């Protein structure tokens, strides 16, 4: 993480943009107090890839198995899980 004051960022914006693009987080300060962060923009998530991840188990798990997997644990099950019994 790099800290710079507003005047430094105004004078050397290209430099700080290059740092952000390279993965650095630049914290911009005013009177030594952080007021903003300059970071690289993350690439957009491929919508088709994300949607395929949601359906990757389609047809492999029936509704009963899904309900059982998503129900809250009983106290006994939680204790066994913590102790390594499940």
Token pair for 66? 């899904």
Assigned domain for 46 exists: no
Locus of tokens 């998503």: 70
Domain residue limits at 60: 53-82
Q: What does residue 38 show for φ and ψ, rounded to 5 degrees?
A: -110, 115
Residues 6 or more apart in contact with residue 24 via CB below 8 angstroms? 1, 2
- The reported pLDDT for the residue numbered 85 is 61
Assigned domain for 44 exists: no
Predicted TM-score (pTM) of the model is: 0.52
Assigned domain for 31 exists: yes
- The reported pLDDT for the residue numbered 4 is 98
Q: What is the mean pLDDT of the chain?
A: 89
Assigned domain for 48 exists: no
- The reported pLDDT for the residue numbered 37 is 98
Assigned domain for 23 exists: yes
Mean pLDDT of the region 14-27: 97
Q: What would the pLDDT profile of 53-79 be if each residue is shown by its tens digit?
A: 767 777 787 888 888 888 999 999 999
Q: Are residues 57 and 32 in the same domain?
A: no
């Amino acid at each position: 993480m790099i800290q710079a004051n507003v005047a430094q960022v105004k004078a050397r914006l290209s430099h700080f943009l290059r740092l952000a693009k390279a993965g650095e987080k630049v914290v911009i300060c005013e009177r030594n107090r952080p007021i903003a962060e300059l970071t690289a923009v993350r690439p957009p998530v491929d919508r088709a890839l994300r949607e395929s991840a949601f359906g990757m188990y389609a047809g492999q798990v029936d509704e009963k198995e899904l309900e059982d997997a998503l129900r809250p644990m009983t106290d006994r099950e939680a204790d066994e899980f913590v102790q390594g019994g499940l």
